[in-house]
């Protein structure tokens, strides 16, 4: 399907959202659902960027706060705060569902693949694996995220463990 | 036989252990009777001594008894028997009488009668016996056979022995005759020998017994004449020895008793000698009030008063005082028998005896058993003392009444009384001198002469009195000098006062004019204040309406605030609704996004749906934008309303403050009104005061005139006073002799009220004074 889309139009749809007054984008096909913010069940003894787990129609999904993950300034959750439920690929090609907390959703953009600029190289020390590229849109620079690499493999394992426990329940 | 009558049935019972003793001469005339006998007999000692003993004989006593007694006594034998005696009053008493002859050089010189107290049984027996004897039923001595038996039994011992020896010998002689007849010689010899021995022993016993009795009787009689060392054989072991020892013991005991009696006698003799020469006058009587002791002082006391006493008691004789009854002083109440009998303790009385003031202290003397045995009377002739007392009393009462001229006569005084009298006279002299001096000074003082003083020497309070008197005179004269100066000064001052009063009068008139002006000003001031009060009342009305308006404004503000609040609430509501719309837009957007996601998943088939979703999202975004703008507007509106409300609230508060201020202004204006009213009334009072002051000033003017006149009068009075003071004669300064009287005489117009006139007069005075 992805191949089809790339081949047919060379256009990819991205869901953009705001985080600390900056716009980020994720592939829309990775998005499973967009929800308004609701309180989560806190899981003790987890990294601070994991806010907890959410009951999504019977399945337990972990919720990650991208602000904390990206070491941005912390902000209170408002009525505009949304949870974007993503379906990501694991290293063993297994998929699992998790939610990320965004300040607000912005738009659905159709972006030509060619218009996606490569992520700048900051040197090997910096961890920028989660960046897929940058897109300039109406004087704004949208950072397009590679959702599969948003988290470290170890972190994904930990979250998966939480998720599994939730699944078993 | 003497029969003493009358008799009564009253028995006087002798007290136990009493001994009644009398002695008579050979004819039965009483030579001595002891106190107990005198007391019980009822006679006085004078009556008894010298008269026959039969004065106490009781008629019921059988004469045989006395005959028996006299027979015994004539035979020099003691006699013993119960005797009923009669007292002077006719009562009777029983005694156990013991009469015996008294020997002196072996001859009877008289008879002693000692009577003891009989027992009641003995009295009864004797009474019975004597009654029978009186009735001739029996005799005192046995007669007939009894008498013969008595005679036989009383035959002397020698005769009895002789008779008995003869009677014993008779059969022996008969036997001897037979023996002689039978010529039995040995037996005769033995018989004769034993008979001779028996006769010898018998004779010896008889002799011994006779000798013994003779010597015993001799010794016993010797005892009766006070010879107490009987030379008796005390070593005999038979009954005679016992008898001798008995006699000996009795004799020695008697000797001891007599020695003790002598001892007691010498003791009492010493006391009597002491009393005899004691300073105080003592009379001692026995229980019958007979004088048994008079000491020397008493004798001299009565000797001194004898002549006077004989005027009252004619037979009074100091030499015969001893032995006579105290009844001699029958005029003295304290010495009457009835008074003495009831006396139990010492009693002192004072009485007048024939012009002599006697002080008498009588004290009864009691035996240790409480029996009254006499009286001791101590006499004190206080005549001289009393005379002195009365003289002193007269003198003192004269002094009390102010008569200091009397003195005690010294001619008939000596010793203590004289020195006492001299001292009292000296005392009176001193008092008289003091009072004479003081009297003189005060008399002079009354005459105005203050130049005298007391110069005599006195001591103590008199000296103080003298000094004080002199000081007083000195002070008074000093005072008079000062008063004189003061009077002069008063005179001068009163003149000055008169002129001063005139000036005062003028000034008072000026004052009155000023006061009238003041009164006019006050009237004006009063009218101003009244209008002021009126204005403030108007202001009050205005203030009240302003206050009402302000209150209304406040209410309007309140309703505006309410309206603002309603707007505010509506705006809030609108904001909420907009919020809901915004929420819906948000949710719609989310749904549209989800739809876009789904459409993207659907790929080519979802393209159309994607477009629709985009449109929906656009709509949702527009709706959200509109809601946001509306919300902003509404928020602005709410903000505006809030600030409007704040303004209105401030306005309301300002209005309330305005109302309060207006009310405060109203109150102040009210106060001003009240104050104006008070001011008005105050000004009225001031007005009244001013008019009163005006009146008073008028009166003052009059008074000033009167004062001027008064000071003139005062001047006259001071002149008179100076004149009067000249009455006193004082040491050191002669009386001032200015002519105040003439001054006073030249001022007849002093009392006229006209100030001007008196002023002139005063000026005239001044001129004269200056000249003076």
The domain in which residue B407 lies consists of 400-446
pLDDT digits (tens, 9 = 90+) for A41-94: 888 888 888 888 988 888 888 898 888 888 888 888 887 889 999 888 776 677
What is the distance between the alpha carbons of residues B64 and B66, in angstroms, rounded to a whole number?
Answer: 5
Whether residue B242 is predicted with pLDDT greater than 60 in this model: the reply is yes
Say how many residues make up chain A: 169
**B439 and B292 assigned to the same domain:** no
Contacts of B593 in chain A (CB under 8 A): 15, 34, 105, 108
pLDDT digits (tens, 9 = 90+) for A146-156: 888 777 666 66
> A70 CA to chain B: closest CA distance, Å?
25
The arithmetic mean of pLDDT across residues B466-489, rounded, is 86
What is the distance between the alpha carbons of residues B541 and B673, in angstroms, rounded to a whole number?
Answer: 12
**B436 and B465 assigned to the same domain:** no
What is the distance between the alpha carbons of residues B46 and B96, in angstroms, rounded to a whole number?
Answer: 25
pLDDT score for A83: 92
Do B597 and A31 make contact, defined as CB atoms within 8 angstroms?
Answer: yes
Counting the structural domains of chain B, the total is 4
Rounded to two decimals, the ipTM of the complex is 0.81
Cα B511–Cα B517–Cα B523 angle in degrees, nearest 5: 135
Contacts of A34 in chain B (CB under 8 A): 590, 593-594, 597
Q: What is the CATH number of the domain that holds B36?
A: 3.30.450.20
**B634 and B698 assigned to the same domain:** yes
- Examine residue B365 and state whether it is found in any structural domain, yes or no: yes
pLDDT score for A157: 67
> A155 CA to chain B: closest CA distance, Å?
27
Cα B173–Cα B178–Cα B182 angle in degrees, nearest 5: 140
pLDDT digits (tens, 9 = 90+) for B472-481: 888 888 888 8
**B432 and B536 assigned to the same domain:** no
The arithmetic mean of pLDDT across residues B662-689, rounded, is 84
The arithmetic mean of pLDDT across residues B227-232, rounded, is 63
- Examine residue B140 and state whether it is found in any structural domain, yes or no: yes
> A142 CA to chain B: closest CA distance, Å?
18
- Examine residue B176 and state whether it is found in any structural domain, yes or no: no
Whether residue A114 is predicted with pLDDT greater than 80 in this model: the reply is yes
**B302 and B424 assigned to the same domain:** no
Q: Where are the alpha helices (DSSP H) in A9-152?
A: 66-69
**B128 and B8 assigned to the same domain:** yes
**B469 and B415 assigned to the same domain:** no
pLDDT score for A9: 55
- Examine residue B703 and state whether it is found in any structural domain, yes or no: yes
Whether residue B429 is predicted with pLDDT greater than 80 in this model: the reply is yes
Determine the residue among B583, B584, B597, B616 to mutate to test chain A binding: the one whose Cβ has the most chain A Cβ atoms within 10 Å: B597
Nearest CA in chain B to A31: B597
pLDDT score for B769: 40
**B467 and B375 assigned to the same domain:** no
**B430 and B548 assigned to the same domain:** no
Whether residue B506 is predicted with pLDDT greater than 60 in this model: the reply is yes
pLDDT score for B510: 83
Boundaries of every domain in chain A: 2-168
Do B590 and A36 make contact, defined as CB atoms within 8 angstroms?
Answer: yes
Report the predicted TM-score, pTM, of the whole model to 2 decimal places.
0.36
Left (φ > 0), alpha (ψ -120 to 50) or beta: where does B593 sit? alpha
pLDDT score for B230: 59
Contacts of B603 in chain A (CB under 8 A): 1, 4-5
Q: Which residues 6+ apart lie within 8 Å of A41 measured at CB?
A: A52, A53, A54, A55
pLDDT digits (tens, 9 = 90+) for B588-629: 888 888 888 888 888 888 888 888 888 888 888 888 888 889
Whether residue B482 is predicted with pLDDT greater than 60 in this model: the reply is yes
**B407 and B469 assigned to the same domain:** no
Say how many residues make up chain B: 772
Q: What percent of chain B has pLDDT over 90?
A: 0
Q: What percent of chain B has pLDDT over 70?
A: 92
pLDDT digits (tens, 9 = 90+) for B732-750: 655 444 444 434 333 433 4
Average pLDDT, chain B: 80
**B4 and B137 assigned to the same domain:** yes
What is the distance between the alpha carbons of residues B299 and B303, in angstroms, rounded to a whole number?
Answer: 6
pLDDT score for B45: 79
The arithmetic mean of pLDDT across residues B656-667, rounded, is 85
* Residue A4 contacts B, CB cutoff 8 Å: yes
* Residue A87 contacts B, CB cutoff 8 Å: no
> A57 CA to chain B: closest CA distance, Å?
16
* Residue A126 contacts B, CB cutoff 8 Å: no
Question: Residue B43 has which token pair?
Answer: 């006679």
pLDDT digits (tens, 9 = 90+) for A8-20: 457 888 999 988 8
Question: Taking a C-beta distance cutoff of 8 angstroms, is the pair B329, B349 a contact?
Answer: no
> A121 CA to chain B: closest CA distance, Å?
31
| More confident position, B246 or B757 | B246
* B129-138, B166-175, B219-228, B419-428: segment of lowest average pLDDT: B219-228
- Examine residue B633 and state whether it is found in any structural domain, yes or no: yes
pLDDT digits (tens, 9 = 90+) for B276-317: 888 888 888 887 778 888 888 888 888 888 888 888 887 788
pLDDT score for A125: 58
**B315 and B432 assigned to the same domain:** no
Name which of B72, B81, B62, B126 is nearest B100 in CA terms.
B72
Do A80 and B596 make contact, defined as CB atoms within 8 angstroms?
Answer: no
Whether residue B759 is predicted with pLDDT greater than 60 in this model: the reply is no
pLDDT score for A126: 58
**Given B151, B171, B187, which residue is the final one in a domain?**
B151
CATH of domain A2-168: 2.40.50.180
- Examine residue B589 and state whether it is found in any structural domain, yes or no: yes
pLDDT band at B757 (very low <50, low <70, confident <90, very high): very low
The arithmetic mean of pLDDT across residues B329-341, rounded, is 73
* A85-89, B224-228, B454-458: segment of lowest average pLDDT: B224-228
């Amino acid at each position: 399907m992805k191949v089809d889309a790339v081949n047919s139009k060379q256009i990819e749809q991205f869901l953009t959202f705001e985080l600390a007054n900056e716009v980020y984008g994720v592939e829309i096909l990775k998005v499973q659902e967009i929800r308004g913010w609701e309180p989560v069940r806190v899981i003790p003894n987890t990294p601070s960027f994991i806010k907890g787990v959410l009951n999504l129609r019977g399945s337990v999904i972990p919720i990650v706060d991208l602000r904390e993950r990206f070491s941005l300034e912390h902000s209170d959750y408002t009525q505009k705060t949304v949870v974007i439920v993503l379906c990501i690929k694991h290293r063993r090609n297994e998929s699992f569902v998790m939610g990320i907390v965004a300040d607000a959703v912005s738009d659905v953009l159709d972006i030509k693949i060619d218009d996606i600029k490569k992520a700048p190289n900051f040197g090997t020390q910096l961890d920028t694996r989660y960046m897929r590229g940058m897109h300039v849109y109406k004087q704004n620079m949208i950072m397009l995220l590679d959702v599969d690499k948003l988290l470290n493999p170890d972190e994904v394992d930990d979250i998966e463990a939480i998720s599994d426990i939730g699944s078993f329940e | 036989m003497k029969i003493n009558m009358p008799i009564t049935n009253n028995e006087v019972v002798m007290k136990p252990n009493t001994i009644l003793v009398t002695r008579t001469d050979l004819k039965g005339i009483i030579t001595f009777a002891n106190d107990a006998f005198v007391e019980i007999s009822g006679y006085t000692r004078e009556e008894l001594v010298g008269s026959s003993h039969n004065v106490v004989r009781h008629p019921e006593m059988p004469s045989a008894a006395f005959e028996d007694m006299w027979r015994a006594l004539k035979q020099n034998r003691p006699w013993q028997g119960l005797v009923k005696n009669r007292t002077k009053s006719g009562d009777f008493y029983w005694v156990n009488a013991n009469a015996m002859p008294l020997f002196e050089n072996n001859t009877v010189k008289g008879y002693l009668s000692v009577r003891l107290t009989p027992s009641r049984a003995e009295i009864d027996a004797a009474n019975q016996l004597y009654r029978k004897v009186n009735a001739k039923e029996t005799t005192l001595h046995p007669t007939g056979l009894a008498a013969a038996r008595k005679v036989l039994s009383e035959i002397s011992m020698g005769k009895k022995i002789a008779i008995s020896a003869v009677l014993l010998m008779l059969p022996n002689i008969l036997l001897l005759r037979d023996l002689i007849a039978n010529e039995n010689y040995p037996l005769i010899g033995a018989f004769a020998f034993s008979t001779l021995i028996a006769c010898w022993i018998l004779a010896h016993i008889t002799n011994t017994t006779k000798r013994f009795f003779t010597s015993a009787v001799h010794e016993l009689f010797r005892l009766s004449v006070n010879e107490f060392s009987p030379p008796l054989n005390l070593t005999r072991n038979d009954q005679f020895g016992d008898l001798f020892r008995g006699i000996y013991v009795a004799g020695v005991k008697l000797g001891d008793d007599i020695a003790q009696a002598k001892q007691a006698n010498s003791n009492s003799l010493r006391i009597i000698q002491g009393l005899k020469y004691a300073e105080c006058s003592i009379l001692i009587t026995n229980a019958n009030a007979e004088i048994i002791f008079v000491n020397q002082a008493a004798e001299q006391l009565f000797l001194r008063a004898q002549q006077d006493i004989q005027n009252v008691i004619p037979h009074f004789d100091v030499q015969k005082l001893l032995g006579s009854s105290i009844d001699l002083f029958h005029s003295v109440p304290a010495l009457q028998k009835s008074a003495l009998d009831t006396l139990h303790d010492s009693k002192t009385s004072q009485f007048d005896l024939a012009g002599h003031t006697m002080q008498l202290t009588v004290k009864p003397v009691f035996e240790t058993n409480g029996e009254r045995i006499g009286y001791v009377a101590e006499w004190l002739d206080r005549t001289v003392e009393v005379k002195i007392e009365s003289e002193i009393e007269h003198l003192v009462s004269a002094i009390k009444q102010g008569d200091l001229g009397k003195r005690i006569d010294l001619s008939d005084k000596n010793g203590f009384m004289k020195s006492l009298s001299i001292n009292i006279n000296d005392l009176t002299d001193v008092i008289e001198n003091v009072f004479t001096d003081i009297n003189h000074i005060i008399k002079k003082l009354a005459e105005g002469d203050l130049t005298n003083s007391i110069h005599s020497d006195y001591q103590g309070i008199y000296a103080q009195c003298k000094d004080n008197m002199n000081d007083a005179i000195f002070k008074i004269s000093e005072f008079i000098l000062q008063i004189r100066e003061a009077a002069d000064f008063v005179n001068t001052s009163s003149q000055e006062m008169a002129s001063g009063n005139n000036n005062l009068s003028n000034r008072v008139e000026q004052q009155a004019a000023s006061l009238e002006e003041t009164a006019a000003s006050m009237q004006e001031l009063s009218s101003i204040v009244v209008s002021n009060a009126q204005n403030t009342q108007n202001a009050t009305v205005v203030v009240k309406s302003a206050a009402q308006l302000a209150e209304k404004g406040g209410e309007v503000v309140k309703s505006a605030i309410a309206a603002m609040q309603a707007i505010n609430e509506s705006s809030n509501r609108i904001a909420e609704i907009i919020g809901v719309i915004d929420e819906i837009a948000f949710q719609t957007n989310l749904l549209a996004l989800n739809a876009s996601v789904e459409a993207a998943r659907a790929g080519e088939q979802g393209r159309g749906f994607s477009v629709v979703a985009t449109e929906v999202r656009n709509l949702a975004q527009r709706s959200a934008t509109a809601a946001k703008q509306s919300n902003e507007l509404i928020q602005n509106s709410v903000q505006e309303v809030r600030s409007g409300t704040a303004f209105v609230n401030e306005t309301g508060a300002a209005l309330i403050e305005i109302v309060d201020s207006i009310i405060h202004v109203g109150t102040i204006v009210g106060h001003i009104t009240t104050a104006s009213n008070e001011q008005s009334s105050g000004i009225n009072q001031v007005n009244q005061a001013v008019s009163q002051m005006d009146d008073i000033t008028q009166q003052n003017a009059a008074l000033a005139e009167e004062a001027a006149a008064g000071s003139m009068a005062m001047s006259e009075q001071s002149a008179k006073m100076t004149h009067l003071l000249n009455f006193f004669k004082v040491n050191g300064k002669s009386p001032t002799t200015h002519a105040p009287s003439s001054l006073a005489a030249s001022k007849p117009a002093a009392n006229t009220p006209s100030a001007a006139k008196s002023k002139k007069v005063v000026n005239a005075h001044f001129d004269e004074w200056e000249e003076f």
